[in-house]
Structure 1
Amino acid sequence: MGSNTKIRFKIVLYLLLVVFIVLVLRLYFLQVMSGELYAELASESIAREKTVSAPRGNIYDRNGKLLVKSVPVKAVVVEPYTVSKNEDVIKALSGCLDMSYEEIKEKVEKSNVSYMDRIILKQDIDTATMIYLKENSSKFPGVEVVDVYLREYNFGFLASHLLGYTGEIDEDRLKSEIYANDYEGGDQIGLTGLEETYESVMKGKKGKIIYEVDPLGKPVSILEETGPISGNDLYLTIDIDLQRVVEKILYESILEVRQKKIKDTDEYYKVPGGAVVVLSPKNGQILAMASYPTFNPELFVGGISLDNWDYLNDPENYYPLINRAVMSFPPGSSIKIVPAYAGLAEDIISERGRLNCAGVWLGLGKDFPKSCWSSHGSLDIRGAIKNSCDIYFYQVGYGLFTKNNNMEELLQKYLRIFGFGSLTGIDLPNEDEGLVPDKEWKKDYFKDQAGYSVWFPGDTVNMTIGQGDLLVTPLQMAQAFSILANRGIEYSPHLIKEIRDSEGNLFPDSSIQEYQDLKLNEYFIEIIEDGLVQVVSQGGTAASVFRDFPLDIIPVAGKTGTAEFYGRQDYAWFASYAPVGNPEYVIVAMLEEAGSGGSNVAPIIEEIYRYLFNID
């Protein structure tokens, strides 16, 4: 053997020795140094955990009628990270779930895997599909069939704005603090209405299963199992039978007014929507709340289609998802109860004092004439309310402005006392607080237009008849009339009568009603009430509507309102309570672009009273 050959042989031998030593050291490290670590990891790898959905609580009306319940269905859930990388699985799912390849691909790829451990691909699958997926689970890594609970609505459209709807949780919500605990991809949550407000109460507690799997991921045995606990049940203040009647009357009235023409024109009233609120002044309970147009919450069960979603959000359909009962609108003369009280409380007017209405008022100067819809002559406060005399209230507003140079902004002060310009606190999401404009608001709103940023006497004068920039919700108006009916006691309007767990146990304090005494002058309220009673009596602005109503047996206090809205037809209101002396109901109705409150909205409330008091 030559010397070169020997040298090469030694080099190869040394290299093999080095490789052998490295392998021995690596083996020693894996088996001895890291043995415990890998043993722990190995044991963890064969124990899997999954959650078990809990049914949401049911929703009942005040009389125990079941409105909404949860029903179990089979659903296909996938792990986005696993499935998005497996073309064969996506193709196989497309075939058995009757979904396009592109639809599945888009859904799994748009999920943020750091927040979405799993997503629901399809709900309410049939039995054959469920069996196929379970029997062929090895061909579908990252795919699982689970039980989920969907909502079932026993009364269709009724009370949809109150009940709300549920849907699958999205990534943004999973990232938020509210849903930080006990939520995961695929969960059904409340998205609107009471379903959203009482999500934490109704969601239930998930169960848990820890099971052992073989190396292929197939379950072998259950190591630990905890069953789910149903969510708590809501018992509402609404009467679903009354709700049905109110929604029917509102709908039929809107159709009827749409057939009417504006006086002296060929233009029909548009009436795109409206709202009615019926509440108990004795405790603030909402007995019925209707908003039109409305929607069917069943459209959202299992996920709403794109076509239905586009329809519900198309401006030509007047936004059916919006609850107009908690939206703000110009109130017109229905607001006059507040300047009436403010005028009496601040000695701007007196019970017997009279002001004159000649049809035109020049109190702001000849360049700013203010007109009334009629020439009423000399009126006291009761007559001014009965006839809804604008010029009387212009003078009240001017007196409130000039007292102490409007330093206290007295009209705004009393509007806020009666609850306007702030949330009522009703247990619904997205309530509008309305707007009580004042000097600071106007200064800020017109900060780039100095000539408009000053608060003028005319601003206060306009607000006394519910014009200008004043905005209120039908619910706020109902609360204000409830304050009158209660002689200054204010209850917080609410929709929950009580909350019970799945075994029927009552939640402590769930039925306690909050109220406060506003310390109002009861005699002033009685004066205003006298005027409101005259509104529906002979000669009042709603007299023709109530001419056949038994007012001698069931006296009604009410106020009409017709509000101008720039660029639109007039908005129509009627607010009321009955029976006077021992009021059981406060009812407020509003129709958008419907003209006169006396002729087009008061009939809605008269018909509801007939139902409530069983009058044929």
Structure 2
Amino acid sequence: MTKSPETGRIPRVQIRLVIMQVLVFSMLCTLGGRLWYLQIRNGGEYYDEAKSNHVQRVVQPAVRGSILDARGVALADNETRLVVSASRTALMKMKDKGKGVLTRLAGVLDMTPQEVMQKVRVCDSKTPPPCWNGSPYQPIPVTAEATTQQALQIRERPEEYPGITAEPTAVRRYPAPGGARTAQALGYLSPVTDEEIQKAKDTDSPHLRSDQVGRSGIERTYDKYLRGKAEVTSYEVDNLGRVMGQTKSDRGVAGSTLVTSIDARVQAVAEFELQQAMKTVRHETDNITGRKYEADSGAVVVMEAKTGRVVAMASQPDYDPNAWVGGISGKDYAKLTSKNSNYPLLNRAIQGQAPAGSIFKVVSASAAVRAGYPFDNKYECSSSYNMGGRSFANFESKGHGPITLGEALKFSCNTVFYALGHKEWQRDGGLKPKKDAHDWFYRTAREFGLGAVTGIDLPNEVTGRIPDRQWKKNFWKANKDAWCKQGKKGGTYVEQIAYENCLEGNQLKAFDSINFAIGQGDVLVTPIQMATAYAAISNGGTLFNPTIGKAVISPDGKRVEVIKPTPHGRLPVDAKTLGDLDKGLRMVVEPGGTAAWRFVGWPLDKVPMRAKTGTAQVYGKQTTSWLATYTDDFVIVMTISQGGTGSGASGPAVRNIYNAMYGFDMEGNYDAATALLPKPEAKLPAVQPDGTIVAPEIKPYVPPSPEESEPPALAGPPATRPAGHD
């Protein structure tokens, strides 16, 4: 500072400026310090508080649409239950990760702490089920079967159960009308995963974290329609959770109703008769192994012949889909996935694969005609067929002399088809195939729809297998190293086969084609494939995509989207051959045919019946029973693994299903009051003005007594009945 020369003092103006500078500097320092404190020292804390002033979405899940049978009977619907849920987010903020709360909750719900904790742990690669495979940020159901008293105890003491809610919620229900579970066809639900949320993010059907989605069956196929749209309300809240205002509200829409072609009454009959057939055959002795038949699994398909619509589909072993509602328990999950249970989650109607046996002969007969062998020519049905020192026996080593192809179907004569398959293999060049080889038998099988999915509206259908030349080459490349390692010349049967396959497993040999001609060897088919093929024979040659979904109805009932039958091809034979096949299959149920003893008393003049029996051999197992049948309107195909012969094991069950559908007894008497479905259901259920559908009453199936289910000509001591036929 500069002093005044006159007074020797510092001017007041300068003092004031200095003071002002000091004050400004102090203020800047204070402001800078405060900014440092707010942004650096406590920046994270204030950032979190600011972030807490955000928009909170409240999601009210949509009511899932019902699944109805063809007459409007509910196969899957919803009911209100008291659901107890846990917020994993809230639990993880606690010092003990919510262990204390969950332990107290277990006591209220009469569960063990371990059961409750398993329910709320998140599934990952290191955590085996039971666990939660949905989003960890949504409430996790602990039980959907809480009592009113349990719910009140939780809600009245929220301080003891932080993060726990108990409230009425609409949950899925599978009522099994008339005893028809329809388990594998319906499927089940489970929570959506984060991966699925991301995958569906930009689609026309995005997921919310609260969604339950179909995991199998038609619950999965038609999930987009059934799920509906959740109601989402957005609120602006502060860091204390106080609502500051509503910002947005998206109205929810209930899921649509799916009407299926399933008839719950026929479904109940099919399930019961399949299960009963398996129980019955387990008491019978297998003449080959000397053991009781195991009858470890089976399936039956009832289909409309002219449309491909599925009327009933049963698979054994089955399960109760209600086990998945509210989260599956560890005990139930083990039952459904363990080897001892024989995997009841599998739908063996579309996923069960086995050699076709003699029901395949309609394919071979068609192939023979295409190859130039007239249907009505005579072919030798000897007791065995010899090729290169090997003998291929006829069933029960019986011969019938010169017969037509129609009669070969009637008697299920293997040797006729052995010879035809062998001759065609030779004509195509044998081990050195011609460039223009016709491969009629293999080509015809594929054109019958075998070796490929049928296109049914169910997930995870398998293709089966047609072991043609290309398949042999591909299979050999994939397995050559293992065969060469396992194979041993002159060793056990398995070792010898591996040895031979190692050297020449890529070649289509004579015995491959001989076995193929009767549906044996490496052939694999599914019941739905054979039902589709036999339906095509019945309807004049059209192969339809089998369907279960029949129509989708909007929640208000104003929009109805009919799911029309869709053909995917035609059988590779002309009308004359179809007519010849039809006549041959009719002879199977007439006197002398392999299925005649199971259709004694059937009114053939009123409802023409056609059938083909089959007994397929599987290495290391007992024979598999097959029976394929059709009328003018319906097809029924049944199979029982390790169940014996086609007519012996499956015959009674198939006959009882037809009797129930058409209203016949074992003597052919008709009762309109008992007929469940003499003609396919053409109409959709009537929709009321409010969008609801009134379901007709359905009564449980009452099976016929053993006396009533015995064919009249076969009554008497068991010794007088025919021996098991193919």
The TM-score range, normalised by the shorter chain, is: 0.7 to 0.9
Distance 2:600 2:198 in 1: 60
Q: CA deviation at 1:90?
A: 4.4
SS in 2 for 1:274: strand
Cα distance, 1:613 vs structure 2:
1.6
Code of the residue aligned with 2:426 in structure 1: it is T
Q: Report SS of the residue matched to 1:383.
A: helix
Q: How far does residue 167 in structure 1 lie from its aligned partner after superposition?
A: 1.8
Quick check: 2:67–2:77 contact (8 Å CA) kept in 1?
yes
Are 1:547 and 2:600 matched, yes or no? yes
Counterpart secondary structure, 2:598: coil
Shift of 1:184: 4.2
Q: Following the alignment from structure 1 to structure 2, what is the Cα–Cα distance between the partners of residues 271 and 102?
A: 37
Matched, 1:556 2:609: yes
d(CA) in 1 for partners of 2:36, 2:173: 60
Q: 2-side partners of 1:109 and 1:62: how far apart?
A: 40
* Partner SS, residue 544 of structure 1: helix
2:408/2:416 contact within 8 Å kept: yes
5 Å matches for 1:196-345?
A: 196-213=220-237, 215-219=239-243, 222-263=246-287, 266-326=290-350, 327-345=352-370
Cα distance in 2 between the residues matched to 1:58 and 1:150: 11
Q: Give the CA deviation at 1:535.
A: 0.7
Q: Relative to structure 1, is the Cα distance of residues 109 and 247 closer, same or farther in structure 2, using a 3 angstrom cutoff?
A: closer
Among 376, 383, 393, the alignment partner of 1:371 is 393
Decide whether aligned partners of structure 1 residues 343 and 418 sit closer, same or farther in structure 2, where only a CA change above 3 A counts. same
SS at match of 2:76: strand
Q: Distance in 1 between matches of 2:195 and 2:180?
A: 29
Matched, 1:418 2:448: yes
Question: Contact between 1:90 and 1:104, CA under 8 Å: does it hold in 2?
Answer: no
Deviation at 1:337, TM superposition (A): 0.1
Moved more, 267-276 or 126-135: 126-135
Counterpart in 2 of 1:505? 558
Contact kept in structure 1, 2:151 and 2:167, CA below 8 Å? no
Q: Which residue of 1 aligns with 2:668?
A: none
* Alignment partners' CA distance in 1, 2:385 and 2:448: 28
* 2:259 match: secondary structure: strand
Segment drifting more, 149-158 vs 198-207:
149-158
Structure 1 residue 187: Cα displacement: 2.8
> Are the aligned partners of 2:120 and 2:140 in contact in 1 as well (CA < 8 Å)?
no
Partner Cα separation in structure 2 for residue 543 and residue 117 of structure 1: 63
Pair 1:216–1:114, CA change in 2 (3 A): farther
**Equivalent in the alignment of 2:4:** none
Q: Distance in 1 between matches of 2:237 and 2:155?
A: 15
Q: Check if 1:163 corresponds to 2:202.
A: no
* Change in CA separation of 1:69 and 1:106 when aligned onto 2, cut-off 3 Å: closer
Matched residue type, 1:301: V
Tell me the amino acid that sits aligned with residue 294 of structure 1: D
TM-fit CA distance, 1:247: 1.1
Q: Distance in 2 between matches of 1:224 and 1:561?
A: 64
Check whether the contact 2:187–2:215 (CA below 8 A) recurs between aligned residues. yes
- Code of the aligned partner of 1:604: A
TM-score, normalised to structure 2, is: 0.75
Q: Is the 8 A contact 2:274 2:300 kept in 1?
A: yes
Contact 2:307 2:565 in 1 (8 A): no
Map of 2:629 onto structure 1: 576
Please tell me whether the aligned partners of residues 357 and 626 of structure 2 are also in contact (alpha carbons under 8 angstroms): yes
Quick one: which of 386, 410, 413 aligns to 1:386?
410
Shift of 1:182: 3.7
In 2, distance between residues paired with 1:207 and 1:243?
36
Q: Separation in 2 of the partners of 1:458 and 1:504? A: 59
**Equivalent in the alignment of 1:187:** 211
Residue in structure 1 matching 2:171, options 146, 150, 160? 150
Name the residue aligned to 1:13: none
Deviation of residue 226 (structure 1)?
A: 3.5
The TM-score, its normalising length taken from structure 1, stands at: 0.87
Bigger CA drift: 101-110 or 466-475? 101-110
Q: Which moved more, 1:314-323 or 1:585-594?
A: 314-323
Kindly provide the amino acid, as one letter, of the partner of residue 274 in structure 2. L
* Count of residues paired in the alignment: 591
Deviates more, 1:501-510 or 1:268-277: 501-510
Partner amino acid for 1:304? I
* RMSD (Å) for aligned C-alpha atoms: 3.2
1:4 maps to what in 2? Answer: none
Look up the equivalent residue of 1:312 and give its one-letter code: L
Q: Which residue type is aligned with residue 413 of structure 2?
A: C
Cα offsets for 1:211-230 (capped at 9, x unmatched)? 34454325576554434211
| Matching residue's letter, 1:57 | G
Give the aligned residue type for 1:332: G
Change beyond 3 A, Cα 1:227–1:174: closer
Note if 1:68 corresponds to 2:76: yes
Aligned to 2:137: 117
- Matched with 1:25 is 32
Q: Note closer, same or farther for the CA distance 1:287–1:514 as it changes in structure 2 (3 Å cut).
A: same
| SS across alignment from 1:568 | coil
Q: Are 1:438 and 2:502 an aligned pair?
A: no
Give the secondary-structure state (helix, strand or coil) at the position aligned to 1:553.
coil
Please tell me whether the aligned partners of residues 141 and 326 of structure 2 are also in contact (alpha carbons under 8 angstroms): no
Q: Distance in 2 between matches of 1:339 and 1:593?
A: 24
In 2, Cα distance between equivalents of 1:391 and 1:315: 39
Aligned partner of 1:537 in structure 2 is 590
Asked whether the equivalents of residues 138 and 218 of structure 1 are also in contact (C-alpha less than 8 Å), the reply is: no
Q: CA deviation at 1:333?
A: 0.5
CA displacement at 1:611 relative to structure 2:
1.5
Q: Counterparts of 1:402 and 1:538 in 2: how far apart (Å)? A: 36
Deviation, 1:67, is: 1.8
Q: Cα gap change, 1:388/1:24 in structure 2, threshold over 3 Å: closer, same or farther?
A: same
Distance 1:508 1:299, change over 3 A: closer
Distance 1:399 1:114 in 2: 59
Q: Is the 8 A contact 1:150 1:301 kept in 2?
A: yes
Judge conservation of contact 2:151–2:166 (CA < 8 Å) in 1.
yes
CA distance in 1, matches of 2:319, 2:603: 36
In 1, are the aligned partners of 2:353 and 2:464 still within 8 Å (CA)? yes
Secondary structure at the counterpart of residue 437 of structure 1:
coil
CA pair 111-482 structure 1, distance change in 2 beyond 3 A: closer
Q: Are the counterparts in 1 of residues 349 and 527 from structure 2 also a CA contact under 8 Å?
A: yes
Contact kept in structure 1, 2:197 and 2:206, CA below 8 Å: no
Task: Extract unaligned runs of 5+ from structure 1.
Answer: 1-15
Change (3 A) 1:19 1:239: farther
Question: Counterparts of 1:102 and 1:589 in 2: how far apart (Å)?
Answer: 43
Q: Note the C-alpha offset of 1:19.
A: 8.9
Work out whether residues 370 and 440 of structure 2, in 8 Å CA contact, stay in contact via their aligned partners in 1. no
Name the CA shift for 1:435/1:221 in 2 (closer, same or farther; >3 Å).
Answer: same
How far residue 83 of structure 1 moved from its aligned partner, in angstroms, is 2.2
For residue 93 of structure 1, report the CA deviation from its aligned partner.
4.4
User: For structure 2, which runs of at least 5 residues remain unmatched after alignment?
Assistant: 1-22, 125-132, 481-501, 666-726
* Corresponding residue of 2:100: 91
Residues 330-382 of structure 1: per-residue CA shift (max 9 Å, x gap): 110010000101101120x21332121331222x32x2222212112111111
Is the 8 Å Cα contact of residues 553 and 561 (structure 2) preserved in structure 1? no
Distance in 2 between residues matched to 1:413 and 1:107, nearest whole Å: 52
**Cα drift, residue 42 of structure 1:** 4.1
Q: Distance in 2 between matches of 1:192 and 1:346?
A: 42
User: CA separation of 1:87/1:248 partners in 2, compared to 1, >3 Å: closer, same or farther?
Assistant: same
8 Å contact kept, 2:120–2:142: no
* 1:32-52, Cα deviation, whole Å (9 max, x unpaired): 9xx9xx999848615422211
Cα distance between partner residues in 2 of 1:114 and 1:230? 21
Displacement after TM superposition at 1:66 (Å): 1.6
**1:152 and 1:411 mapped to 2: Cα distance?**
48
SS of 1:70's partner is: strand
- Judging changes above 3 Å, is the alpha-carbon distance between structure 1 residues 536 and 19 closer, same or farther for their aligned structure 2 residues? farther
Query: What does the per-residue CA deviation read over 1:397-422, in whole Å, with 9 as the maximum and x for residues that have no partner?
Result: 12322334252322111001111000
